[in-house]
Amino acid sequence: MEEWLREILTSGITSNLSGLFDQVNTKVGEIAETVGKTPQGWNGAIYNMVKGLSDNVMVPIAAMVLAFVMSLELLQMVIDRNNLNDGDTFAFFKWVFKSSAACLIVTNTWNIVMAVFDVGQHIVNEAAGVAIGSVAIDSSLFMDGLDEKLAAMTLGALLGLWVQTGVVKLCMGLLQICILVVVFGRMIEIYLVTSVAPVPMATMMNKESEQVGRNYLRNLIALAFQAFLIIVCVAIYAALVEHITVTDDISYALWTCMGYTVLLCFSLFKTGSLAKSIFNAH
């Protein structure tokens, strides 16, 4: 009976450890490639749809917003000038210039927004080439000499290790989902933010409502530079897993690897709020 239980537990442990980190390694390895893409490069179909919505739906609304805020500014300027009794021709030229600049910004909003992400892509690609080494946890570290290590363990120790490997295997699947949510969620947020770009950009040249446009630009820049923070997180993770060694204590090495992966996921979730706090985009 004991030999039968040992055989079952040994087979289960070997099965759990075999390729345990392969899927996580694949997801982590794809992070740099995914976050380094522009909205157009990530998914062309979604990009074209969002661009169409922005051009055909948001730009007309932005034109109405622009007409309202600039008319309000003209009215305020007239009132401030004592109903034109304190004449200042330059003030009208300044208003015309600001209105023209605002129209130019609204009509070229999409190019401005995409330029921000082009800069972000360049920074990410440069950082990925410099900072990131191998991000893969080598499963062979656990498999080398595994049979001899398991043969030397008691039945209770084998049962405990079998439970631990099962828990870690389940957690690895959940961590893959977390990485997917962070990376894909960021891109979806980018599409959502860029789809309404003309409306907040229409307020940029009005002194009363310019804070709306400024906050929007800060949020946009934060999203672009969030990719850089993600690359830094992956680089730190790569440096940590590079020095993982497996001794006779398989459990310690197993939980160490899982701890590093959990730390990576937690850091990825924090990059969004950290980027916004850096650029005061809240």
Domain map (residue ranges) of the chain: 2-56+109-278
pLDDT at 281 > cutoff 80: no
Percent of the chain with pLDDT over 90: 2
> What stretch of H or E contains 210?
helix 210-241
pLDDT at 82 > cutoff 70: no
Distance CA 248, CA 187 (A): 43
Confidence of residue 191 (pLDDT cuts 50, 70, 90): very high
Predicted confidence at residue 143, as pLDDT, reads 67
pLDDT at 135 > cutoff 70: no
Cβ atoms < 10 Å from Cβ of 282:
10
Predicted confidence at residue 254, as pLDDT, reads 79
Confidence of residue 12 (pLDDT cuts 50, 70, 90): confident
Give just the sign of the alpha carbon dihedral 18, 23, 26, 29. Answer: negative
Predicted confidence at residue 234, as pLDDT, reads 83
Distance CA 232, CA 53 (A): 34
pLDDT at 84 > cutoff 60: no
Backbone angles phi, psi at 280, to 5 degrees: 55, 50
pLDDT at 138 > cutoff 80: no
Average pLDDT on 122-144 reads 69
Predicted confidence at residue 245, as pLDDT, reads 66
Average pLDDT on 138-152 reads 71
| Average pLDDT score, the chain | 81
pTM for the full predicted model:
0.80
* One-letter identity of residue 7: E
Six-digit token pair at 84? 């034109």
Asked whether 221 and 116 are in contact (CB, 8 A), the reply is: yes
Q: pLDDT higher for 148 or 84?
A: 148
77-86, 106-115, 171-180: the lowest-pLDDT one: 77-86
Distance CA 185, CA 259 (A): 23
pLDDT at 85 > cutoff 70: no
Q: pLDDT higher for 98 or 248?
A: 98
Average pLDDT on 132-148 reads 67
Distance CA 110, CA 112 (A): 5
pLDDT at 242 > cutoff 80: no
